[in-house]
Amino acid sequence: MIPAKGYAAQSAETDLAPWNFERREVGANDVQFDVAYCGVCHSDLHQIRNDWFPGIFPMVPGHEIVGKVVKVGNAVTKFKIGDLAAVGCMVDSCRTCENCQNGLEQYCLKGGAPTYNGFEMDRKTPTYGGYSNTIVTNEDFVLKVPEKLDLAATAPLLCAGITTYSPLKHWKVGKGHKLAVLGLGGLGHMGVKFGVAFGAEVTVLSTSPKKEADAKKLGAHNFVVTTDPEQVKVAKNSFDFILDTVSAEHDFSLYLSMLKTDGVHILVGLPSEALKVPPFSIVGGRKSVAGSSIGGIQETQEMLDFCAEHNIVSDIEMIDIKDINTAYERMLKGDVRYRFVIDMATL
Protein backbone atom coordinates (compact mmCIF):
# COMPACT_ATOMS: atom_id res chain seq x y z
CA MET A 1 0.00 0.00 0.00
CA ILE A 2 1.05 3.62 -0.59
CA PRO A 3 1.12 5.88 2.50
CA ALA A 4 -0.95 9.03 1.92
CA LYS A 5 -1.92 12.07 3.94
CA GLY A 6 -4.81 14.43 3.60
CA TYR A 7 -7.62 16.25 5.35
CA ALA A 8 -10.69 14.26 6.35
CA ALA A 9 -13.98 14.62 8.18
CA GLN A 10 -14.29 11.84 10.73
CA SER A 11 -18.06 12.35 10.98
CA ALA A 12 -20.79 14.71 9.77
CA GLU A 13 -20.38 16.71 12.99
CA THR A 14 -16.62 17.34 12.76
CA ASP A 15 -14.51 19.79 10.80
CA LEU A 16 -11.86 18.63 8.36
CA ALA A 17 -8.55 17.80 10.00
CA PRO A 18 -5.25 16.07 9.05
CA TRP A 19 -5.56 12.31 8.51
CA ASN A 20 -3.10 9.64 7.36
CA PHE A 21 -4.39 6.78 5.24
CA GLU A 22 -3.31 4.38 2.48
CA ARG A 23 -3.81 4.29 -1.29
CA ARG A 24 -3.71 1.04 -3.22
CA GLU A 25 -0.52 0.00 -4.98
CA VAL A 26 -0.22 1.04 -8.62
CA GLY A 27 -1.70 -1.80 -10.66
CA ALA A 28 -0.98 -2.64 -14.30
CA ASN A 29 -3.54 -0.13 -15.59
CA ASP A 30 -3.16 2.53 -12.91
CA VAL A 31 -1.66 6.01 -12.87
CA GLN A 32 -0.36 7.62 -9.69
CA PHE A 33 0.03 11.37 -9.60
CA ASP A 34 0.98 13.71 -6.82
CA VAL A 35 -1.75 16.29 -6.24
CA ALA A 36 -0.59 19.85 -6.92
CA TYR A 37 -3.97 21.58 -6.58
CA CYS A 38 -7.50 20.60 -5.66
CA GLY A 39 -10.57 22.75 -6.21
CA VAL A 40 -13.16 23.22 -3.47
CA CYS A 41 -16.69 22.40 -4.62
CA HIS A 42 -19.92 23.30 -2.83
CA SER A 43 -20.77 19.60 -2.95
CA ASP A 44 -17.72 18.85 -0.76
CA LEU A 45 -19.45 20.70 2.06
CA HIS A 46 -22.85 19.09 1.35
CA GLN A 47 -21.29 15.63 1.51
CA ILE A 48 -19.23 15.98 4.68
CA ARG A 49 -22.40 17.27 6.37
CA ASN A 50 -24.69 14.50 5.08
CA ASP A 51 -26.95 17.08 3.42
CA TRP A 52 -27.90 14.75 0.56
CA PHE A 53 -27.39 11.23 1.89
CA PRO A 54 -25.46 9.45 4.66
CA GLY A 55 -21.72 9.71 4.03
CA ILE A 56 -18.91 7.17 4.30
CA PHE A 57 -16.49 8.30 7.01
CA PRO A 58 -13.66 9.12 7.40
CA MET A 59 -14.24 11.21 4.26
CA VAL A 60 -11.49 12.90 2.24
CA PRO A 61 -13.31 15.29 -0.13
CA GLY A 62 -12.12 16.76 -3.40
CA HIS A 63 -12.95 15.92 -7.02
CA GLU A 64 -11.22 18.73 -8.92
CA ILE A 65 -7.73 17.27 -8.86
CA VAL A 66 -4.64 18.14 -10.91
CA GLY A 67 -0.99 17.20 -10.59
CA LYS A 68 2.00 15.45 -12.12
CA VAL A 69 2.34 11.71 -12.85
CA VAL A 70 4.92 9.97 -10.64
CA LYS A 71 4.26 6.30 -11.47
CA VAL A 72 2.44 4.26 -14.11
CA GLY A 73 1.51 0.59 -14.32
CA ASN A 74 3.25 -1.62 -16.87
CA ALA A 75 0.14 -1.79 -19.12
CA VAL A 76 -0.53 1.96 -19.14
CA THR A 77 -0.39 3.50 -22.62
CA LYS A 78 -1.90 6.97 -22.17
CA PHE A 79 0.46 8.50 -19.59
CA LYS A 80 4.11 8.65 -18.71
CA ILE A 81 6.00 9.94 -15.67
CA GLY A 82 6.07 13.75 -15.64
CA ASP A 83 2.78 14.23 -17.55
CA LEU A 84 0.21 16.68 -16.23
CA ALA A 85 -2.89 14.74 -15.21
CA ALA A 86 -6.31 15.30 -13.68
CA VAL A 87 -9.15 13.41 -12.04
CA GLY A 88 -12.71 14.69 -11.82
CA CYS A 89 -15.82 13.41 -10.09
CA MET A 90 -15.51 9.70 -10.90
CA VAL A 91 -12.75 7.11 -10.85
CA ASP A 92 -14.45 4.11 -12.47
CA SER A 93 -17.69 2.71 -13.87
CA CYS A 94 -18.99 -0.68 -14.96
CA ARG A 95 -17.72 -0.05 -18.55
CA THR A 96 -20.36 -2.46 -19.95
CA CYS A 97 -23.82 -0.86 -19.61
CA GLU A 98 -25.45 1.06 -22.46
CA ASN A 99 -24.51 4.45 -21.01
CA CYS A 100 -20.86 3.53 -20.39
CA GLN A 101 -20.62 2.13 -23.91
CA ASN A 102 -21.91 5.48 -25.24
CA GLY A 103 -19.39 7.62 -23.33
CA LEU A 104 -21.86 8.52 -20.59
CA GLU A 105 -20.00 6.96 -17.67
CA GLN A 106 -21.45 9.66 -15.39
CA TYR A 107 -24.83 7.94 -15.83
CA CYS A 108 -23.52 4.37 -15.38
CA LEU A 109 -26.61 2.19 -14.98
CA LYS A 110 -24.88 0.01 -12.41
CA GLY A 111 -23.60 3.02 -10.45
CA GLY A 112 -20.02 4.14 -11.00
CA ALA A 113 -17.30 4.84 -8.46
CA PRO A 114 -17.26 8.46 -7.27
CA THR A 115 -13.88 10.01 -6.51
CA TYR A 116 -14.76 10.20 -2.82
CA ASN A 117 -17.61 9.29 -0.45
CA GLY A 118 -18.17 6.08 -2.34
CA PHE A 119 -16.67 2.70 -3.13
CA GLU A 120 -14.51 1.29 -5.91
CA MET A 121 -16.36 -1.07 -8.27
CA ASP A 122 -15.64 -3.93 -5.86
CA ARG A 123 -18.21 -2.15 -3.61
CA LYS A 124 -15.90 -2.68 -0.63
CA THR A 125 -12.93 -0.31 -0.99
CA PRO A 126 -13.76 3.29 0.04
CA THR A 127 -12.67 6.06 -2.33
CA TYR A 128 -10.78 9.10 -1.02
CA GLY A 129 -10.56 12.39 -2.86
CA GLY A 130 -8.10 15.10 -3.71
CA TYR A 131 -7.62 16.89 -0.39
CA SER A 132 -4.55 14.67 -0.24
CA ASN A 133 -0.96 14.48 -1.42
CA THR A 134 -1.30 11.66 -3.98
CA ILE A 135 -3.93 9.63 -5.83
CA VAL A 136 -4.00 6.32 -7.75
CA THR A 137 -6.61 5.90 -10.52
CA ASN A 138 -7.21 3.63 -13.50
CA GLU A 139 -5.77 5.35 -16.59
CA ASP A 140 -9.17 5.33 -18.34
CA PHE A 141 -10.46 7.81 -15.77
CA VAL A 142 -7.42 10.09 -15.76
CA LEU A 143 -7.48 13.17 -18.00
CA LYS A 144 -4.67 14.93 -19.84
CA VAL A 145 -4.15 18.58 -18.87
CA PRO A 146 -3.04 20.73 -21.83
CA GLU A 147 0.34 22.33 -21.06
CA LYS A 148 -0.82 25.85 -21.93
CA LEU A 149 -3.49 25.97 -19.18
CA ASP A 150 -2.70 27.45 -15.77
CA LEU A 151 -2.65 24.32 -13.61
CA ALA A 152 -4.23 25.76 -10.45
CA ALA A 153 -7.03 27.50 -12.38
CA THR A 154 -7.65 24.29 -14.35
CA ALA A 155 -8.60 22.29 -11.23
CA PRO A 156 -12.22 23.58 -10.99
CA LEU A 157 -12.80 22.70 -14.65
CA LEU A 158 -12.97 19.06 -13.50
CA CYS A 159 -16.34 19.73 -11.86
CA ALA A 160 -17.58 23.32 -12.26
CA GLY A 161 -16.30 23.37 -15.82
CA ILE A 162 -17.70 20.09 -17.12
CA THR A 163 -20.97 20.50 -15.16
CA THR A 164 -21.74 23.62 -17.20
CA TYR A 165 -20.06 22.61 -20.47
CA SER A 166 -21.92 19.29 -20.79
CA PRO A 167 -25.54 20.59 -20.78
CA LEU A 168 -24.70 23.50 -23.07
CA LYS A 169 -23.25 21.00 -25.55
CA HIS A 170 -26.12 18.53 -25.11
CA TRP A 171 -28.79 21.16 -25.84
CA LYS A 172 -26.58 22.60 -28.61
CA VAL A 173 -26.64 26.08 -27.10
CA GLY A 174 -24.93 28.54 -29.39
CA LYS A 175 -25.33 31.30 -31.94
CA GLY A 176 -28.88 32.64 -32.14
CA HIS A 177 -29.81 31.42 -28.65
CA LYS A 178 -30.56 33.53 -25.62
CA LEU A 179 -29.07 31.83 -22.56
CA ALA A 180 -29.69 32.93 -18.99
CA VAL A 181 -27.27 31.80 -16.29
CA LEU A 182 -28.98 31.76 -12.91
CA GLY A 183 -26.51 32.45 -10.09
CA LEU A 184 -22.97 33.74 -10.45
CA GLY A 185 -20.81 31.48 -8.32
CA GLY A 186 -18.39 28.63 -9.00
CA LEU A 187 -20.71 27.01 -11.55
CA GLY A 188 -22.33 30.17 -12.85
CA HIS A 189 -19.15 31.99 -13.79
CA MET A 190 -18.11 28.98 -15.90
CA GLY A 191 -21.57 28.86 -17.50
CA VAL A 192 -21.11 32.47 -18.58
CA LYS A 193 -17.66 31.80 -20.05
CA PHE A 194 -18.82 28.75 -22.01
CA GLY A 195 -22.09 30.34 -23.14
CA VAL A 196 -20.19 33.32 -24.56
CA ALA A 197 -17.56 31.05 -26.16
CA PHE A 198 -20.35 29.03 -27.85
CA GLY A 199 -21.79 32.22 -29.34
CA ALA A 200 -24.98 32.60 -27.30
CA GLU A 201 -26.34 35.91 -26.01
CA VAL A 202 -25.76 35.48 -22.28
CA THR A 203 -27.72 37.11 -19.46
CA VAL A 204 -26.90 36.63 -15.78
CA LEU A 205 -29.86 36.36 -13.39
CA SER A 206 -28.95 37.28 -9.83
CA THR A 207 -30.53 38.54 -6.63
CA SER A 208 -27.45 40.72 -6.07
CA PRO A 209 -27.05 43.98 -8.06
CA LYS A 210 -23.42 44.05 -6.88
CA LYS A 211 -22.55 41.20 -9.23
CA GLU A 212 -23.37 43.09 -12.43
CA ALA A 213 -19.85 44.45 -12.95
CA ASP A 214 -18.36 40.97 -12.50
CA ALA A 215 -20.91 39.43 -14.85
CA LYS A 216 -20.03 41.92 -17.59
CA LYS A 217 -16.31 41.40 -16.96
CA LEU A 218 -16.82 37.65 -17.48
CA GLY A 219 -18.42 38.37 -20.83
CA ALA A 220 -22.17 38.46 -20.06
CA HIS A 221 -24.13 40.67 -22.41
CA ASN A 222 -26.98 41.45 -20.00
CA PHE A 223 -27.80 41.36 -16.29
CA VAL A 224 -31.17 41.00 -14.57
CA VAL A 225 -31.71 41.65 -10.86
CA THR A 226 -34.38 39.08 -10.03
CA THR A 227 -35.59 40.97 -6.96
CA ASP A 228 -36.55 43.96 -9.16
CA PRO A 229 -40.14 43.43 -10.46
CA GLU A 230 -39.61 45.80 -13.39
CA GLN A 231 -36.50 43.97 -14.63
CA VAL A 232 -38.26 40.61 -14.21
CA LYS A 233 -41.24 41.90 -16.21
CA VAL A 234 -38.97 42.92 -19.10
CA ALA A 235 -37.26 39.49 -19.02
CA LYS A 236 -40.50 37.47 -19.31
CA ASN A 237 -40.71 35.03 -22.24
CA SER A 238 -37.24 35.97 -23.44
CA PHE A 239 -34.82 33.03 -22.94
CA ASP A 240 -34.35 29.81 -24.88
CA PHE A 241 -32.46 28.24 -21.98
CA ILE A 242 -31.86 28.91 -18.31
CA LEU A 243 -28.79 27.25 -16.80
CA ASP A 244 -29.71 27.04 -13.12
CA THR A 245 -26.59 26.83 -10.92
CA VAL A 246 -28.22 27.72 -7.59
CA SER A 247 -27.86 25.20 -4.76
CA ALA A 248 -30.30 26.95 -2.39
CA GLU A 249 -34.10 26.79 -2.52
CA HIS A 250 -35.59 29.18 -5.10
CA ASP A 251 -38.84 30.06 -6.88
CA PHE A 252 -39.09 28.02 -10.07
CA SER A 253 -42.27 29.69 -11.27
CA LEU A 254 -40.46 33.05 -11.37
CA TYR A 255 -37.69 31.72 -13.61
CA LEU A 256 -39.92 29.54 -15.78
CA SER A 257 -41.91 32.69 -16.63
CA MET A 258 -38.75 34.06 -18.27
CA LEU A 259 -38.52 31.16 -20.74
CA LYS A 260 -39.86 31.34 -24.27
CA THR A 261 -42.28 28.71 -25.56
CA ASP A 262 -40.39 25.38 -25.69
CA GLY A 263 -37.71 26.85 -23.39
CA VAL A 264 -35.64 24.56 -21.18
CA HIS A 265 -34.74 25.18 -17.53
CA ILE A 266 -31.58 23.12 -16.96
CA LEU A 267 -30.80 22.26 -13.35
CA VAL A 268 -27.12 21.80 -12.44
CA GLY A 269 -27.21 23.28 -8.93
CA LEU A 270 -28.42 20.83 -6.30
CA PRO A 271 -30.68 22.27 -3.57
CA SER A 272 -31.16 20.04 -0.54
CA GLU A 273 -34.95 20.51 -0.65
CA ALA A 274 -37.32 18.86 -3.12
CA LEU A 275 -38.15 20.99 -6.18
CA LYS A 276 -41.47 22.84 -6.21
CA VAL A 277 -42.47 23.26 -9.85
CA PRO A 278 -46.05 24.50 -10.34
CA PRO A 279 -47.58 22.52 -13.23
CA PHE A 280 -49.12 25.58 -14.92
CA SER A 281 -45.69 27.20 -15.17
CA ILE A 282 -44.53 24.48 -17.58
CA VAL A 283 -47.79 23.48 -19.30
CA GLY A 284 -48.50 27.05 -20.43
CA GLY A 285 -45.52 27.29 -22.78
CA ARG A 286 -44.60 23.65 -23.39
CA LYS A 287 -41.57 24.31 -21.20
CA SER A 288 -39.21 21.70 -19.80
CA VAL A 289 -37.38 21.34 -16.53
CA ALA A 290 -34.31 19.18 -17.12
CA GLY A 291 -31.23 18.15 -15.19
CA SER A 292 -27.63 17.42 -16.04
CA SER A 293 -24.72 15.96 -14.16
CA ILE A 294 -21.05 16.11 -15.12
CA GLY A 295 -19.81 14.79 -18.50
CA GLY A 296 -18.30 11.49 -19.53
CA ILE A 297 -14.54 11.04 -19.75
CA GLN A 298 -14.34 11.75 -23.49
CA GLU A 299 -16.47 14.89 -23.14
CA THR A 300 -14.43 16.08 -20.16
CA GLN A 301 -11.24 15.73 -22.20
CA GLU A 302 -12.95 17.60 -25.04
CA MET A 303 -13.83 20.37 -22.57
CA LEU A 304 -10.22 20.65 -21.36
CA ASP A 305 -8.98 20.86 -24.95
CA PHE A 306 -11.66 23.48 -25.76
CA CYS A 307 -10.52 25.51 -22.76
CA ALA A 308 -6.91 25.39 -23.97
CA GLU A 309 -8.00 26.50 -27.43
CA HIS A 310 -10.12 29.40 -26.12
CA ASN A 311 -7.98 30.34 -23.13
CA ILE A 312 -10.70 29.54 -20.58
CA VAL A 313 -9.97 28.68 -16.94
CA SER A 314 -11.75 29.31 -13.65
CA ASP A 315 -11.38 32.50 -11.62
CA ILE A 316 -9.82 31.24 -8.40
CA GLU A 317 -8.62 32.19 -4.96
CA MET A 318 -5.77 30.01 -3.72
CA ILE A 319 -5.83 28.83 -0.09
CA ASP A 320 -3.70 26.79 2.31
CA ILE A 321 -5.18 23.44 3.33
CA LYS A 322 -5.22 24.56 6.98
CA ASP A 323 -7.74 27.27 6.01
CA ILE A 324 -10.24 24.85 4.46
CA ASN A 325 -12.85 25.09 7.23
CA THR A 326 -12.79 28.90 7.06
CA ALA A 327 -13.09 28.65 3.27
CA TYR A 328 -16.26 26.57 3.72
CA GLU A 329 -17.74 29.29 5.95
CA ARG A 330 -16.91 31.91 3.33
CA MET A 331 -18.32 29.73 0.54
CA LEU A 332 -21.64 29.49 2.38
CA LYS A 333 -21.79 33.30 2.41
CA GLY A 334 -20.89 33.52 -1.27
CA ASP A 335 -17.62 35.18 -0.32
CA VAL A 336 -15.40 33.76 -3.07
CA ARG A 337 -14.67 34.91 -6.63
CA TYR A 338 -15.33 32.26 -7.86
CA ARG A 339 -13.70 29.04 -6.76
CA PHE A 340 -11.33 28.20 -3.92
CA VAL A 341 -8.36 26.06 -4.92
CA ILE A 342 -6.14 24.38 -2.34
CA ASP A 343 -2.40 24.57 -2.89
CA MET A 344 -1.56 21.03 -1.81
CA ALA A 345 2.08 21.99 -1.24
CA THR A 346 0.72 23.41 2.04
CA LEU A 347 -0.36 19.96 3.27
Rg over CA atoms, the chain: 20
The residue with greater pLDDT, 274 or 64, is: 64
Name the band, by pLDDT with cuts 50, 70 and 90, for residue 67: very high
Cα(70)–Cα(26) distance, integer angstroms: 10
Predicted model pTM:
0.96
Averaged pLDDT for residues 139-145: 98
Contact at 8 Å (CB) between 200 and 181? Answer: no
Name the band, by pLDDT with cuts 50, 70 and 90, for residue 107: very high
Conformation bin of residue 95: beta by default, left when phi > 0, alpha when psi is -120 to 50: left
Domain 2-158+315-346: which CATH number of 3.90.180.10, 1.10.1280.10, 3.40.50.620, 3.30.43.10: 3.90.180.10
Domain spanning 161-291: CATH superfamily = NAD(P)-binding Rossmann-like Domain (3.40.50.720)
What's the pLDDT at 272?
80
Looking at the predicted structure, is the pLDDT value of residue 80 above 90? yes
> Domain map of the chain by residue range?
2-158+315-346, 161-291
Averaged pLDDT for residues 137-150: 98
Decide whether 2-158+315-346 matches 161-291 in CATH topology. no
